[in-house]
Structure 1
Amino acid sequence: MIPRPISDELTIFLLKPLSGEESKAISKRFPMVFEDPDFGLKPSKLDGYMQRQAKDMGVLKAVNTTEDVLITAQLKIMDVAPPLVDLYARFSAPGGGEAEELIKVSVEAALRQWGRAFLHVTKLRGQAVISRVEHKSEFILSDPEVFAPGKEARELLFTDRFLSAMLKEAKQDATLAQRDGLVTAAKQSSIQRPRQHTRRVAVKRPTFVPFRTHRPALGAARGRGLGRLAQCGRGHGRAQNTFTQRQRLQHYGVGGRLQFFAKNWKRVTDDPWVLGTVSEGLKIDFISNPT
């Protein structure tokens, strides 16, 4: 049974805000020096790979803004640790009695709950970054095995193991997409197109020529039965337009002419990654030299 005076104190703790100076004063009363020099209580840093990706996609400012908000919350959660760790270390010393062991169990439970809250904010940071930079890899966050344990996980938000898993998934998706494209192309080539009955005429159709040189080509083709087409103003205009449209489609190709229609993509999406890929192409940023 928790006494009423303690309930009154808890009410004050929950409703009365603690100033930053008061929080710093409490932490200074419990200085922590760890025997392991590699261990430290601080938020993990954003990996350099993710920072470069966010910068290339133009979302680095939004990522940093979200990071600042979540890291501030994480630092406030970390302020709970010094007095709890101090108490836990005192009652973990050998030679304690039954009462000391009970106190140790209570403090250990508090530290585990503290770690749960700290990890929750870390996961929120990872989801916020992935949703803006690599949203297709967001499902990988649910697998704890893709994060490297130990010091690397404390220092980096994603770790090299996670980045390797993300690149592996991207490579598999690209391979499957390429395979599906080949299968689709094979199916389309196997379809027999129905024969269209056309009326044969004596005049041959002009041979397709580049749009910049079709006028001399037509003029040179007069001896092949195309003189009337070249001399007729109205007929020559229709041929010119037809050749120009066909030539543009063939000249630029499918991939090459995509950038010429980048402005039309702005009508259907405002995603900076999509617009940047259409207009500038896709840049693959490897974390190491590929084999």
Structure 2
Amino acid sequence: MVYGQQTASQTETVLKAENVNVYYGNFLALKGIYLDIPKNKVTAFIGPSGCGKSTLLRCYNRLNDLIPIFRLEGLITYHNNDLYAKDIDPVQVRRRIGMVFQRPNPFPKSIYENIAFGARINGYKGDMDELVERSLKQAALWDEVKDKLKQSGLALSGGQQQRLCIARAIALQPDVVLMDEPCSALDPISTLKVEELIHQLKENYTIVIVTHNMQQASRVADLTAFFNVTATEKGNRQGYLVECDRTEVIFQNPKQEATMEYVSGRFG
């Protein structure tokens, strides 16, 4: 598969979900999702626990494939290409659509090798020193670590480790960066640095972030998608998308009453 490199406007759709249902075994966990993710914007997923935010996020780079009972119905496209077509290599998908997880997870290697390792095994042939420096600069970490690149990434603070993980993700030169609650384990100062970094990264990347922090969504996101959850007859929790709009609309004048109740703190 050759991924499309379109001459894009700011409103180009990078990822599209059309009538997506996600099953774990016979359980329908996420139902009827229609959602467009635009290029070079930050899209935030908000909603109560169990509503399927992280499940949908992991659908975009096929991490759910690692769950044996996972099954997807409907269509998810990346630059108009079916991400779940039989000829698609999930490893290549994950190179183009990177992931930053909830808790920082540096490799037990040096700061330098945290960046270089993934690039090397993915066949990078350029100047590795230049790639490491550029990635750390893009992650706003270079000035803090440039004199200790041989030290373990695990010796960094939590906020620095998370920025190292972001640098590691963008070293592979992805198109999209997915972030699953990237600040939930960080202190307020580190959170602010990561949020400032997200603003900078959207100039070059499409960002999708899951967050439980309403203030964070209002600060960093151009678009916000609100997911909710309903109880099934068997007592299971089934997630669905309520609405997606510009962030200021979702927080100030949403179309659905449930959205207003959630963003105002009445439930969730």
Taking structure 2 as the reference length, the TM-score comes to 0.20
Taking structure 1 as the reference length, the TM-score comes to 0.19
Q: Which of 1 and 2 has higher RCO (CA within 8 Å, sep 6+)?
A: 2
Please state which structure has a larger fraction of its residues in helix: 1
